[in-house]
Amino acid sequence: MTLKDKIDLERLPRHIAIIMDGNGRWAKMRGKPRTFGHKSGVKSVRESTEAAAELGVEYLTLYAFSTENWKRPKFEIDALMHLLLQTINKETETLNKNNIRLNAIGNLDNLPSNIHKGLMRIIDDTAGNDRMTLTLALSYSSRWEIVETLKKLALQVKNKQLNVEDLDQEMFASYLDTANMPDPELLIRTSGEYRISNFLLWQIAYAELYFTPKLWPDFRKEDLYEAIVDYQGRERRFGKTSEQLKA
Ligand code: FPP
């Protein structure tokens, strides 16, 4: 029985989020510049996207560039942006062929204008696809997203379009960048780091966390299968007792 056969397709996570980490270390181990690690990470992006779509996962969200990543050396940022645009340009046809919609969350206005334009074009070009939504978190941080949400809501209160008493969790979530997506049930982080790094803090309240020592450029379909099998072996209690769940 292969790892893939062990997956119960009836109990797939609808939404998987991944913190892709370890590109720099992967490159360093090979005596190469960090940008070589990022380039090599593209294959892992392709493999995870393919594997998730083939299984029937509805949403895959990848942490591609954090707000904090703007602090990296300029040449690395430029290389990452270039790689991003090149990759999505190259993959548009494959995304369309496979009925995958591209989406982006984060402070997209901060992206260089050519990247922003290119991204919007591909988001537009794939908008009609409905097999899976691939979301790239770009210039994203969860605290930024939460504060932006608060600002939007505060403005509505100020303009008397919203009563503070009517504000609840559901409404709050509907103003986040992830408004139309279910919360991720499974969050994967590669590279052996046990951190969330400001990613989807609101949305992962009940997500199962899966950490693997694999560096991102080594992450393959089998690794995604392994994470899903692990997830399916867990008991998700949502605050209830084990006995209550079985009843
Ligand atoms: C983390 O590794 C990775 C990133 C900051 C960028 C991820 C980007 C890609 C895989 C490129 C293409 C992406 C798409 C979506 C087309 P790191 O640099 O933090 O590694 P380190 O922790 O070993 O230094």
Over residues 14-35, the mean pLDDT reads 98
Residues with CB under 6 A from ligand 1: 20-25, 34, 38, 41-42, 45, 62, 64, 69, 80, 83-84, 87, 136, 191
pTM comes to 0.96
Q: Could you report the per-residue pLDDT of 194-236, keeping only the tens digit for each?
A: 999 999 999 999 999 999 999 999 999 999 999 999 999 998 7
Q: Provide the CATH topology of domain 14-141+184-232.
A: Undecaprenyl pyrophosphate synthetase (3.40.1180)
- What is the 84 CA–ligand 1 centroid distance (Å)? 10
Q: Could you report the per-residue pLDDT of 57-72, keeping only the tens digit for each?
A: 999 999 999 999 999 9
CB contact at 8 A, 152 and 120: no
pLDDT band at 246 (very low <50, low <70, confident <90, very high): confident
Distance CA 90, CA 196 (A): 30
Partner residues linked to 211 by β-bridges: 189
- Nearest residue to 30 via CA among 198, 234, 217: 217
Ligand 1: which residue has its CA nearest to atom 5? 65
Q: Where do the structural domains in the chain lie, given as residue ranges?
A: 14-141+184-232
Q: Could you report the per-residue pLDDT of 126-165, keeping only the tens digit for each?
A: 999 999 999 999 999 999 999 999 999 999 999 999 999 9
Ligand 1: which residue has its CA nearest to atom 16? 84
List the catalytic residues: 21, 69
Partner residues linked to 68 by β-bridges: none
Ligand 1: which residue has its CA nearest to atom 22? 22
Those residues whose C-beta lies under 8 Å from the C-beta of residue 132, and which sit 6 or more positions away, are: 49, 52, 53, 57, 58, 59, 60, 98, 99, 100, 101
- What is the 208 CA–ligand 1 centroid distance (Å)? 22
